[in-house]
Structure 1
């Protein structure tokens, strides 16, 4: 596209060059904007936005390497000025040798510096996205500790909540437990999506944290910590594919009375016949087998009226909400796709 010097007009989305193309020119943005892109899977991500007056594509002038990224018009009415390398090389040959050597050295140093910066940014990004189990329990432990010690009860939308000053939580996070605030903020965002808490702005950079489900967060933290230190052969581990089955069981259990021993007994035939209408997904008779093997449910029994499964509500209360929180955190952390 850049065999001749001069302006090139692009519509929004038009490619200027693709990643891997041969390098034959550098460019100056005259108007609009250029997105520097990198292929990722079947799509691409934007690495940078080049605005009017800025130069790009110059790194290949000396080494003639293929384009390490693509470039496309990011805004309507984008115009770039092409500066072909062939014309620039003719002028470059007139430079004194010491100047040519200096420019080459600066260019190589810039390229190496860019590589190091990209590597550091990648490591930092990976670190920010990593929430290993001990980090989750520690951050949740900080939240529940601060709420217990400094939370004030308030009535909010006809419900009681605990309110903690944001500055107090920040001091505990950084000064006492020496954890980065960006991780705490990220976790609170995820917990907010589950309705467990909200971070409320008070203006002038001040915040407060409102806990809607403080007891649930306490119980989750204690359960998860205990679960992590339980021997593998004694753990109850739930697969995400089993969550719809657990939710269906709780949905139908809430519609009937408990048995004399406090357990729920459900007819799986009835669940199969009504789940598609009630829950928008089918729960078949064989879907319970894995949960039965894990002792979350009792054995299926053939009784008058059909096949039944039973479970203790306290078991389900431990399993369902805690794994829901855990799966949500893992999804957000990119551990589950």
Structure 2
């Protein structure tokens, strides 16, 4: 069977996507359209080192249909990726062609006319984008200003519009959406990705209201958003050499340090610990983490200077109270970095 025949006979069916998974890229060959049964998809167009955000599609909406109506190109005009877990129905163009063939001629003409007008509008938008200023080489999906703004929205809406029941704050998604999109003018795709990140990091829980089937967010500590917002806003005003930078390897080192400190005496918020034992642990399990990876912790003042023992051991004093206070910020900061890195990999 030839490739062309295989494409023509492609069957329709249900597909599932994991968060962040690409459904298709701009320029890919197109042989089917999709209807979203569950979840959310982000439409975007790579540009320079960044992206032009097009839209966020939800349950009941369709995508990929324009390639069927475009007589000049059977390729995707945008890229699409999953924001949440997604379940979609794939309808092959072969099956769609059979359906179109059975329509009344006047209705088929109406559909083709509307599709052609939309295609020309898309071409004009694309031309305007190509003539606009591109993103710089240090483009990030989540910019510092975006993060500060979204954290502010989370804190303000939970505190002003949320309900506190038995120490747990709940907020209807529609209220958050109104503030985020209409008042703070936050990009919808970024807000949805941010909510997914908060969910993954267990900073919020998402449930469904039994009365109207709308989404409800809940958290026990809305002040966490305020703490994060202050931190990221402060980071924005600092010179690069003054910013808190904890690498993923350093973060793993800090996790092990906190575990070891649990069994050691704390004096004035500080713990004396033999740091070389932890380095030996990583070496034993071939984890590729050394004392050099702990330098970021020293710079951040999570520990004091190293002390050499007579047997070659290395000890230091951990500012454990300060470390435990800052660790949630470190974890969230690195989670944001991972999202930015994953977005960059989709457009090298």
TM-score with structure 1 setting the length: 0.60
3-state secondary structure, aligned to 1:162: strand
Match of 1:297 in 2: 303
Say whether 1:49 aligns with 2:32. Answer: yes
Match of 2:158 in 1: 147
The answer to whether the 8 Å contact 1:272/1:282 transfers is no
Change (3 A) 1:227 1:331: same
Could you tell me how far 1:45 is from its partner in structure 2? 5.5
The answer to whether the 8 Å contact 1:195/1:213 transfers is no
Match of 2:263 in 1: 255
Pick from 321, 334, 341 the counterpart of residue 327 of structure 1: 334
3-state secondary structure, aligned to 1:16: helix
Change (3 A) 1:111 1:245: same
Change (3 A) 1:135 1:254: same
Summarize deviations over 1:141-192 as a string: whole Å, max 9, x none.
111111112322234xxxx421112232223223432334443232111100
The answer to whether the 8 Å contact 1:263/1:313 transfers is yes
Match of 1:161 in 2: 168
Change (3 A) 1:58 1:165: closer
Task: List aligned pairs for 1:12-23, cutoff 5 A.
Answer: 15-16=3-4
3-state secondary structure, aligned to 2:263: coil
Match of 2:209 in 1: 202
Pick from 221, 238, 253 the counterpart of residue 230 of structure 1: 238
Pick from 214, 218, 231 the counterpart of residue 226 of structure 2: 218
The answer to whether the 8 Å contact 2:249/2:293 transfers is no
Change (3 A) 1:49 1:118: farther
Say whether 1:32 aligns with 2:11. Answer: yes
Could you tell me how far 1:208 is from its partner in structure 2? 1.4
3-state secondary structure, aligned to 1:137: helix
The answer to whether the 8 Å contact 2:172/2:215 transfers is yes
Which ranges of 4 or more aligned residues in structure 1 deviate by more than 4 Å? 37-40, 44-48, 54-58, 108-123
The answer to whether the 8 Å contact 1:154/1:161 transfers is yes
The answer to whether the 8 Å contact 2:245/2:296 transfers is no
User: Rg bigger for which structure?
Assistant: 1
Change (3 A) 1:302 1:55: closer
Say whether 1:266 aligns with 2:277. Answer: no
The answer to whether the 8 Å contact 1:162/1:211 transfers is yes
Partners of 1:205 and 1:32 in 2: CA distance: 33
Deviates more, 1:324-333 or 1:139-148: 324-333
3-state secondary structure, aligned to 2:171: strand
Q: Unpaired segments of 5 or more residues in structure 1?
A: 1-9, 18-26, 61-66, 82-107
Could you tell me how far 1:298 is from its partner in structure 2? 1.4
**Corresponding pairs, count:** 261
Partners of 2:10 and 2:173 in 1: CA distance: 44
The answer to whether the 8 Å contact 2:208/2:216 transfers is yes
The answer to whether the 8 Å contact 1:201/1:207 transfers is yes
Pick from 306, 312, 317 the counterpart of residue 310 of structure 1: 317
TM-score with structure 2 setting the length: 0.59
Q: Which of the pair has the greater relative contact order for Cα pairs under 8 Å at 6+ separation?
A: 2
